[in-house]
Chains A and B, each alone.
Chain A
C-alpha cells in the first residue's frame, strides 16, 4: 500500500515542469536581472568591461555592498529590518581607526574590538525591537542618526576637530593578519598565470591583474556560508519561521527572540567587516563612510528575492543583486551614458523587483 502511494506521488513529481519549479526559487529574479544587465552592457559598453581587470573593477564595489546585503537579507528573512547598517559602517570604522591610531592597539586586537562593538550595537538594536515590540524600521531609523552622529562626534574627539582619521595604514603595515583584510589574494598564482601567458600582462611581464581583492573573497565566502545556513541547517529553518509567523514559530518551539537577536548582531558584524575592509584599503576613515548603504543593501536583498514582510528570500539572491549594482555603477562609465542614470536605474530596479516578488509569492503559496 505504502509502495503504491510513493509510486503515485513520484509520478506526480514529473508533472511539475522545470520552469515552474524554477519560478518558485526566490533568487530567480536576481539571476534574470543579472543576465539582462550583462546583455545590456555587452552591447553598449567598451569590451574592456568584461576583461578580467574590468570584472574585478565592478566586483569590488559589488562585494562591499554585497557583504552588507547578505546580512540585510538574512535579517529580512527573519522578519526585521536594519536601517542603521550604513551608519554602523561609519561607527565601526571609527572604532577600528581609533583603536589602532589613538589607543595604539595591534591589528588583531583592533579587529576583535571592532567586531565586539558591532555585535553590542546590534544586540542593543535587537533587544529594543524584541522587548518593546516596536517595528524594527523605527528603532533602527533612530540608530541611523544616533550612530552617524556618534561617528562625527567621536572622530572630532579622536582627531581634535577633523572628521577624517588618517594614518591607519602605518599602524598595520607588516602585520600577517593584514593580508586577510586588505590587498589582493592569490598573487603568486596570477604571476604564474602571467608567466604561462594565460592572462594579459604589461610590457614588463607583470600581470595586469595581480590578484583577487580580498573583499570579493569575503563576499563569496559569506554568500556561501549564509546560503548553507539558510538551506542546510536547523537554524536556517528557524530564520524562515521567525520571519514567516513568529507566533506559530514559537508555538513550535523555535527560540524566536534568540534567532532575531543573533540576526541583528550578524548584520552589525557584516557592517563592521565592510568598515575594516574599506578603512584598511583607504588607510583612513571618515564620517561619511557607508552613507546611504542601508538602502542599497536592502534594495539588493529585495532584488535578490527577499519579501519585505519576511519569511522568504535567499542569500544567493542578495549576492546576485549586489553584483547587478556594482555592474551598473561601474559599467555606466564604460558607456557614453550619463553616470547619473544610476539613481534612476536603482529606483526602477527596486520597483520591478518588488512587483516580481509579489507575483512569485502568490505562486508559492498558491494564491491567485
Chain B
C-alpha cells in the first residue's frame, strides 16, 4: 500500500470553550478523490483550514509524505504542496485568463538588465493547460469575467496543479453551479486525480460526491463518523450519516422520499 500524501491524525481544534474539532483523522492518497461530507456546522471548514495552514490545530499532528509538519501560515502549506481552491475564488474578473493563471508567479524573460513578462510563453502554457482540462479558450487574453463559474473553477484548479500541488482542497466547488457546469468540474477533478494528485472534495451534496469519490468521510459535530470506500456505502446511507440519521428519515417519510 502506498503512503498517504497527507495524513491528519486526531486533529482537535478549540476556539476558546468551543470545541470545533474533537479528534478528526483523515488521509489523502495520491490519485484519489477523498470526499469530506458534512452538514453546515459539522466542522468541515475548520478542518480544511487546519489542513491548509490557516488554523493551527490545538492537538494532533499533520504528516506530509511521512514527515511531521507544523504549518505556521497558508504559505507553509502551499510550499508543502497543499493548495486550496476557495469558494470565493482567487480570480480577478477584469484580468485576462493568462494573467490570472500566472498571477504572483509571472514568467519573465531577460533583455539585458530589464526583465519582462513573457506573454508568449505564458499564453502558450495557459492554452495548453486549459485544453488538457477540456476547455478550449477562444483567446488566452480574454477576461476571466467572461468565463462561466465552472470554467473559472477549472482555471483555478489547473493553475494549482500546474504549480505543483500534490493535494488539492476544493471547498464546495459545485455548490453554486448549474448541472452542466457541475459535471465539468467533476470531470476536471477526475483528470486531476489521474495525474496522481490527491483531491479533497468538500461538499454537502451526496450525489456529487458519489459521482467522483473514491473514499468518503463524514463529519458530524466535529467528529468523524467513519470513512468508507467506494462501493461500501450507498448514497442513502451517506445522507443519513450526514444528517444524523433518525431525524432525516422521519422527515423524508413526510416529504415522500424526495430529499
Q: Which residues of A contact B (CB under 8 A)?
A: 2, 5-6, 8-9, 12-13, 15-16, 228, 232-234, 236-238, 240-241, 244-245, 247-249, 251-254, 307, 311-312, 361, 364-367
Contact = CB atoms under 8 A, between A and B. Distances in A.
A259 B38 CA distance: 40
A364 B93 CA distance: 9
A240 B94 contact: yes
A254 B104 contact: yes
Interface string B72-112: 00010000000000101111111100010011111010000
Contact of A234 (B106, B127, B147): B106
Interface string B134-160: 001111000101110000000000000
A2 B129 CA distance: 10
Contacts of B104: 238, 249, 252-254
Contact of B91 (A5, A248, A254): A248
Given A240-B95, A241-B103, A251 B131 contact: no
Contact of A232 (B117, B132, B146): B117
A248 B90 contact: yes
Nearest to A77: B94
Given A237-B117, A254-B103, 19 more contacts: A9-B127, A9-B136, A232-B119, A233-B117, A234-B106, A234-B108, A237-B102, A237-B106, A240-B95, A241-B103, A247-B88, A248-B91, A249-B92, A249-B103, A251-B90, A252-B103, A254-B104, A365-B94, A366-B146
Contacts of A12: 136, 138
A2 B131 contact: yes
Given A9-B138, A240-B95, A311-B95, A367 B105 contact: no
B93 A365 contact: yes
Interface of B: 75, 86, 88-95, 99, 102-106, 108, 115-117, 119, 127-128, 131-132, 136-139, 143, 145-147
Given A244-B92, A251-B86, A252-B104, A5 B136 contact: yes
Please classify the interface of chain A as helix (H, G, I), strand (E, B), loop, or mixed, using the class held by over half of its residues: helix
7 contacts: A16-B138, A237-B103, A244-B92, A244-B94, A311-B94, A364-B145, A365-B145
Given A365-B94, A367-B145, A234 B117 contact: yes
Contacts, number: 94
Please classify the interface of chain B as helix (H, G, I), strand (E, B), loop, or mixed, using the class held by over half of its residues: loop
Nearest to A364: B143
Contacts of B139: 13, 16
Contacts of A2: 128, 131-132
Given A2-B128, A9-B137, A361 B116 contact: no
Nearest to A9: B136
Contacts of A251: 86, 90
Nearest to B147: A366
Contacts of A254: 103-104
Which residue, of A13, A248, A307, has the highest number of chain B Cβ atoms within 10 A? A248
Contacts of B132: 2
Contacts of B93: 244-245, 365
B128 A240 contact: no
Contacts of A311: 92, 94-95
Contacts of A249: 92, 103-104
A8 B95 contact: no
A367 B139 CA distance: 18
B91 to A, nearest CB: 6
Contacts of A9: 127, 131, 136-138
Contacts of B115: 233
Contacts of B99: 237, 240-241
Contacts of A237: 95, 99, 102-103, 106, 117
B188 to A, nearest CB: 15
Contact of B92 (A228, A234, A241): A241
B63 to A, nearest CB: 26
B145 A13 contact: no
A253 B102 CA distance: 10
